[in-house]
Every structure is written in C-alpha cells, then in structure tokens.
Amino acid sequence: MARVELMDYEQALELFEPVIGLEVHVELNTETKMFSPAPNPANEKYHGAAPNTLVSPVCLGLPGSLPVVNGEAVEKSISLGLALGCSIAESSRFARKNYFYPDLAKNYQISQYDEPIAFDGEVEVELADGRTFQVPIERAHMEEDAGKLTHVGGATGRIQGAEYSLVDYNRAGVPLVEIVTRPIFGAEGDAPELAKAYVSTIRDMAISLGISEARMERGNLRCDANVSLRPRGAEQLGTRTETKNVNSFRSIERAVRYEIQRQAAILAKGGAITQETRHWHEDTGTTSPGRPKSDADDYRYFPEPDLVPVVPSRERVAELRAALPEPPPARRRRLKAEWGFTDLEFQGVVNGGLLNEVAATIAAGASPAAARKWWTGELTRLANASETDAASLASPEHVAELAALVEAGTLTDRLARQVLEGVVAGEGSPQQIVDARGLAVVSDDGALIAAIDAALAAQPDVLAKIRDGKVQAAGAVIGAVMKAMQGKADAARVRELVLERAAAAE
Amino acid sequence: MPEISAEQVAHLANLARIALTEEEIAHLTTELGQIMQAVEQVNQVATPDVPPTSHPIPMQNVFRADVVTDDVLTPEQALSGAPERDGDRFVVSAILGEEQ
C-alpha cells in the first residue's frame, strides 16, 4: 500500500478551513423490528442471540412477505426528532433505497428519502473548555438496519481479499434513526473535538429519552464522518470523504483529525481529493479507501409501495413534546450543581463521555466523589490502555458496589483497583471477586498485631528509634507488615497499631 | 420522447450485478426504450390538478403493535432455502464494495 502523507495539523489549519458533516445512526430499543414482528437484537433482552434466530419472513425478504410499520418505533423516532429541535413532518413516507449487497436479502433497504419524519433542527454541543456550538440538523429519518457479514479468507478479515462471507440476518430490520447534520462551519481546529462532543450529546439524548441502549461498542450508535477542506478565502466547498466504521468517541476525534491531515497533504501538492467512502481502522488509527461514493441516483430511490404514509397527529406530537426529558445542556448544569463538582472535575466527566455512567453510579448509591474518581481515574486508565471507551468496561452498578466496599473498609484503594481489573475482565461482581480472590482487607487486629510484633522484633534498631520519638521511622515496619499481609491491610490502621505496640514493647 | 442509452443500460446492469453481453445490452436498450415510451403516455393524461401519488389506496397510519409474534422462524426454517450454509449462517460469495 502506498505510504500516506499527513500534513502537520497546525499547518493544515493555516492553509485550509475544515468543514465537517456527521451522520449518526441510532438503533432503537423497541421490542420488535422496524417492519417485522421479530425480536429486536438492539433491545438488551435479545442482545447476543445466536445467528439467524431473530428473523421472520420479512427480515429475509421471502416472497410474499410484507412489511408493517412498528408504531412504537415511529413514536420513539418522533421523540428523538423533537429532542433534536426538529419539526415533525405533517406527512412522512418510506422509500426504497436499491442496492445489491447480501446484508439485506431483498436487495433494497426501506428508508426515507424526500419526506423524512423530522427535519430542520439544532443541537447545542459543549466543548471541553465550556464553549458551546449550535450544530444544525438537516433531517432525522427512519430506516432499517442491515444484516451482519463476516468476511472469511484473505489476510485480515476485512472486505478486501475475502473469499466468501457469512451472513447473520438478526440485525436486518432493526429500527434505525439516521440523523444528518448540515455542513458544520467555523469549528476550525476544534472540528475533531466537536465531532466527538456532538456524538456524545446524541448518546446522552438517546439514553435520557430511553429510546436506545446507545452502546457504541455494540453498534447501537454509529457515526459516519464527512470531512472536506477548503482553501482559506475560497467560497466553494472542497470534495468530501465519508469515513465509516467509527465506533468509539476517541476514534471519531482521531478519524476527523486524520482526514484533515491527509487531505491537506494531497491538496497542498496540487492533488485532488477523491469523493469516496473510507474505512476507519481502529488498530492503526488510519483510514483506507472503500468504494467510490455512489450518486443518490444510483440508489434509484422510489416511494415504498408496500407502506402507506405516516401522518402523525398534532395532538400526539404535542404530547411527546411535553414528555421530553430536560435537554442535555440544562441537565449538565443541574447535575454539576447537585454533585458539587468544580468546572475541571465536571469537564473531566463530560469529556470522557461518562456523564450517564457517573449519574447511574450515584443513583446506585455511590457518592459523587467516588463515582467520579473511579470512572475518570482507574477505568479511564484501563480504557486508554485497551484503546476503548471507559463506559464499555464496567456497569454503574458494579462501580457503585466497589465504592461501597471501599467505604465500608472491606477494600483499600489498592485492593479495589485489583477488584476493578477483575470486573473489567468479566470475573463477576466486586463482591464475588473479593470472595473468589480473597482480596478483602485483613481487619482482624490479632493477625495484624502478630505481624507487627514479628516485624518489630526483626528490626530492633527501628523499634529503638520509634521509642525515642522518631515516629517517621515506623515506615519501615509498616512496609514490612503490609508486605507480610500481601497488601491486604489498611495502612493507617497498621500505623496506629505499630505505634501502640512499639510503646508497649519491652 | 424518453430515451435510454446503451451506457445507462450497462450502468444499471452493473448496479444490479447482472453480467450482460454487448448483444444483450443492445437488445435491452431497445426494449427498455419501448417500455419507457409506453409509460411516458401516462404523462399525456396527467394534468396539473392530479397530484403525484405513491399509493393507490387513500390510507395512512397503518401500524403494528410492538409485540413479538409467532412469525419468527427457527434457524432451520430460515436457512432451508439457502444454497449454501455454514453452521447457522448463510454463505455468500465475497463482494467488494457497496457495503452500507
């Protein structure tokens, strides 16, 4: 493969203005699929089902089968549209998007084209330093997800070089809302961060609406990032690329930044950007070309003859609007005040995409300080080490349980970190791991005193110093005791006992 | 008068993943052109007071309750028509591109 040249990021920004556009797909968590009464794997209840066990004749496009719209999916789509500040269509209809690929057996995807359910919205997005951006929303439309292909053969399991593919149609027909922004101007060097913060905002929205499980690592929320550059002072937009397969917050930021640097290097040399789909590779942090982007004409959209128009009643839309949860910016301001976090502490939570995790952990009984500490501390460290999002590593309930064990003195922070590693490795709940690994703090003074007496006897010079009032000398004994207890003791309690025993020693 | 070119027919065949010979393309170009002319006749009777319609029956808001029914197939049923299978998954030839 040809070596890809990247321009220095700052230099790229001096020469070009980045313009981004984002498409976010949200899988709805309804009980059944968009057009078929088969169970929906994007609902927690059916997640991880064996291949081809969640399919009906509609999902397989069998002859004679007919789609029927899931009314609940329409309501959830309308709620999301309203939360995005969109107008809800007086009349909305479905369209066929024709393409031949085995991820949908019927050779077309039922989507929406000229009459989406929601359009013309605006979403407030906050950056790490507290500045806000208004992201313009062009539309949000309903459609169905496609099946899952596993490419077999070839070196890497990627599309390129595969010999054949295996198809699981469980995901075919999962209800999706695709949210499309207008081109976003003016973000400048913050464009990559804005892209990440926008997707994070959509995720918060979906969770507070209760319309999606919204787990990026499961593909409940997926982002395609369009990036183009235009030379400073130019009117016309540059040619854009669309990067797909960007499935974590950190990769969204990295992918946009990478495309800015890659395109700048090509343009600066007088080259042209090819309008194409590019695939993001998490492992290398690079994008590679996919297919040339089809014109909309090639999809030969036409109104779906099997479905009649959706005409939401204005009364129902008003009810759904009245039932909306508070908007993310207002919610953030309220939570920050309730939790008593400083600006910096709160931004750490928000920027890590951890607001919902911290909120759920506090709801499960942890103190705000403990919830923040575990999510932005150890879990974020583990997430960075494994290049994933902290939110995917542990459940709020487990983190709350861990905090309770520390609070109760069963675990020291050091032991708690070991337990957390067990949780992340899927060994069970914190209490189960404490039991299984025997990690609890030794709170039995008898056992501690025996170890302290032994350590003091082994270090008579230290004992003499302590008795002379040189309390800091106790460190050597504390260290020896902690080692003897394999770290499973509370150092503060050991120190207290060391001083007591030294005073009492003959 | 609507026209369809041999290039357009070849492009459509490519999108539909159908391999056509030059003779077949020439033949289909003529036939599809005739079909388009026939359909074009509709435009002659369509007047501005007739709105375009995508559905012949004046119905709207036909919804299904969000409930799982017994239309769900077993993997055996689902795969019964598959030309080739591997475990409980369908086997298809590798196709480059067009992934959504």
Q: Which residues of B touch A311 (CB under 8 A)?
A: 60-61
**Which residues fall within 8 angstroms of residue A196, CB to CB, at 6 or more apart?**
A249, A250, A252, A253, A353
Find which of A28, A31, A32 to mutate to test the B interface (most B CBs within 10 Å of its CB): A32
Are B20 and B6 within 8 A, CB to CB?
no
Residue-wise over A8-26: b if at least 16 C-beta within 10 A, else e? eeeebbeebbbbbbbbbbb
Whole-number Å distance between alpha carbons of A467 and A282? 60
**Which residues fall within 8 angstroms of residue A385, CB to CB, at 6 or more apart?**
none
Distance from CA of B82 to the nearest CA of A (A): 11
**A137: part of which helix (H) or strand (E)?**
strand A132-144
Of A53, A103, A163, the CB nearest to B94: A163
**Which residues fall within 8 angstroms of residue A456, CB to CB, at 6 or more apart?**
A462, A463, A477, A498, A501, A502, A505
Q: In chain B, what is the straight-line distance between the N-terminal and C-terminal CA atoms, in Å?
A: 35
**A88: part of which helix (H) or strand (E)?**
strand A87-88
Question: What ranges in A45-151 are assigned the alpha helix state H?
Answer: 71-83
Whole-number Å distance between alpha carbons of A230 and A236? 7
If one counts every other C-beta atom within 10 angstroms of the C-beta of residue A108, the result is 18
Q: List the one residue out of A305, A309, A311 whose CA is nearest residue A78.
A: A311
Distance from CA of A137 to the nearest CA of B (A): 22
The DSSP-derived string for A187-207 is: -GGGHHHHHHHHHHHHHHHHH
Are A166 and B86 within 8 A, CB to CB?
yes
Say whether A165 and B91 touch across the interface (CB within 8 A).
yes
**Which residues fall within 8 angstroms of residue A290, CB to CB, at 6 or more apart?**
A159, A244, A276, A277, A278, A279, B97, B99
- Chain segment B20-43, per-residue pLDDT in tens: 999 999 999 999 999 999 988 887
Say whether B89 and A168 touch across the interface (CB within 8 A).
yes
Kindly give the confidence (pLDDT) of every residue in chain A, 506 residues in length, as a single tens digit, with 9 standing for 90 and above.
567 899 999 999 999 999 999 999 999 999 999 999 999 999 999 999 999 999 999 999 999 999 999 999 999 999 999 999 999 999 999 999 998 889 999 999 999 999 999 999 999 998 888 889 999 999 999 999 999 999 887 655 555 556 889 999 999 999 999 999 999 999 999 999 999 999 999 998 999 899 999 999 899 999 999 999 999 989 899 999 999 878 888 899 999 999 999 999 999 999 999 988 999 998 899 998 876 666 667 899 999 999 999 999 999 999 999 999 988 778 888 999 999 999 889 988 987 889 989 999 999 999 999 999 999 999 999 998 888 888 889 999 999 999 999 888 888 888 899 899 999 998 999 999 888 887 777 777 778 888 888 888 888 888 888 888 887 888 888 888 888 887 777 778 888 888 888 877 75
**A12: part of which helix (H) or strand (E)?**
helix A9-15
If one counts every other C-beta atom within 10 angstroms of the C-beta of residue A269, the result is 9
**Which residues fall within 8 angstroms of residue A147, CB to CB, at 6 or more apart?**
A102, A103, A104, A105, A167, A168, A169, A170, A171, A172
The pTM assigned to this predicted structure is: 0.79
In a 13 Å sphere around the CA of A335, the CA atoms on its Cβ side amount to 24
Q: In chain A, what is the straight-line distance between the N-terminal and C-terminal CA atoms, in Å?
A: 77
Say whether B94 and A164 touch across the interface (CB within 8 A).
yes
Q: Which residues of B touch A298 (CB under 8 A)?
A: 15
CA angle (A144 as vertex; A68, B51 as ends), nearest 5: 60
Q: List the one residue out of A129, A29, A135 whose CA is nearest residue A75.
A: A29
Say whether A74 and B63 touch across the interface (CB within 8 A).
yes
Among chain B residues, CA nearest to A34: B66
* CB-count burial class (<10 Å; 0-12, 13-18, 19+) for A366: buried
Are A253 and A193 within 8 A, CB to CB?
yes
DSSP conformation class of A329: H
Say whether A298 and B72 touch across the interface (CB within 8 A).
no
Q: Which residues of B touch A308 (CB under 8 A)?
A: 55, 57, 59-62
Q: Which residues of B touch A303 (CB under 8 A)?
A: 54-55
Q: Which residues of A touch B9 (CB under 8 A)?
A: none
Of B60, B71, B75, the CB nearest to A37: B71
> Residue B51 is which amino acid?
P
Place of tokens 């979403």: A123
SS3 for A221-287 is EEEEEEEEEEECCCCCCCCCEEEEEECCHHHHHHHHHHHHHHHHHHHHCCCCCCCEEEEEECCCCEE
Say whether B62 and A37 touch across the interface (CB within 8 A).
no
* A&B contacts, CB < 8 Å: 152
Interface of B with A in 32-51 (CB under 8 A): none
